[in-house]
Amino acid sequence: MFPEQRPRRLRRTPALRRLVAETSLEPRHLVLPMFVREGAAEPIPITSMPGVVQHTRDSLRKAVVEAVEAGVGGVMLFGVPLEHDAEGTGSLDPNGILNAALRDVRSEVGDSTVIMSDLCLDEFTDHGHCGVLDEHGDVDNDRTLRIYGEMGVAQVEAGAHVVGPSGMMDGQVAAIRAALDRAGHQDAAVLAYAVKYASAFYGPFREAVDSQLKGDRKTYQQDSANAREALLEARLDLDEGADMVMVKPAGAYLDVIRSVRDMADVPVAAYQISGEYAMIEAAAANGWIDRDRAVLETLTGIRRAGADIVLTYWAVEAAGWLNQR
């Protein structure tokens, strides 16, 4: 017997394949994470992330304009300060690098894209942890929350449309939401890094932000063995008022993206992180894989898993390819 159902019929031509594609990938789905370094005279390449730089304030403005022209959904800014201290005070200074850059970018592109900011202390602390430490050297959850609230207000007042708390402190969304509301910023949105795993794939990011971290983040980021716990984290953040939730990293956690998508009634983002970027770039540089196809395949896979929004260092380049289709 020959088969009656022949799925190959719908794969015969590019037009048929396009007609029946279940998952779409458009520039608006993509968010570009960007680094800006205090005092930089010119953009500084990040060795472990070929093609990604630590921007100067000036080159950042230009790169954001390019991102807007490519039609990406948004940008996510990370600051790289020159000075670090135990409390990460640079994060609250209106003239600190991240807040200054947010002001630059907002005045450059206004509301034409969505300006997001990483809300975390690790770039600003001299110990490199995402919060302040108590007398035992442990990350002090509740004292960190007070700083996060102030940071959120500073970032929104500098120009962020959306703040992205990424420190995995318990109660961070509620604390930031309350601080924003108290300061009259009811309109500012929170994209919660709700589900964030302690991952080896953050490696290149540590270079990208000149991280001071010794040790690891396993007392606050999740264990990669746990999927059910991700639903608890997401539910808590939704109850605390998260406007969007994120799963991070993406590639090794596609099942988690799917289950968060299925339980949440808000947009779900996924972050294709520095190590995911570096792996493909390194393999492609060796001629081992077709870079552009691999990039699109991973982005499509993350969308297929259920992400409405994908943060990726390839956002602008991929948007360029998608615009030509």
Residues identified as active-site? 196, 248
Nearer to ligand PBG, 148 or 260 (CB): 148
Nearer to ligand PBG, 122 or 140 (CB): 122
Tokens 């990460």 — which residue?
88
Report residue 281 as tokens: 């770039």
Nearer to ligand PBG, 148 or 205 (CB): 205
- Distance of closest approach, residue 202 Cβ to ligand PBG, in angstroms: 4
- Distance of closest approach, residue 228 Cβ to ligand PBG, in angstroms: 22
- Distance of closest approach, residue 165 Cβ to ligand PBG, in angstroms: 9
What is the C-alpha to C-alpha distance for residues 227 and 177, in angstroms, rounded to an integer? 26
Contact residues: ligand PBG, CB under 6 A: 118, 120, 122, 130, 166, 202, 205, 217, 273-274
What is the C-alpha to C-alpha distance for residues 192 and 173, in angstroms, rounded to an integer? 7
Nearer to ligand PBG, 16 or 200 (CB): 200
- Distance of closest approach, residue 36 Cβ to ligand PBG, in angstroms: 14
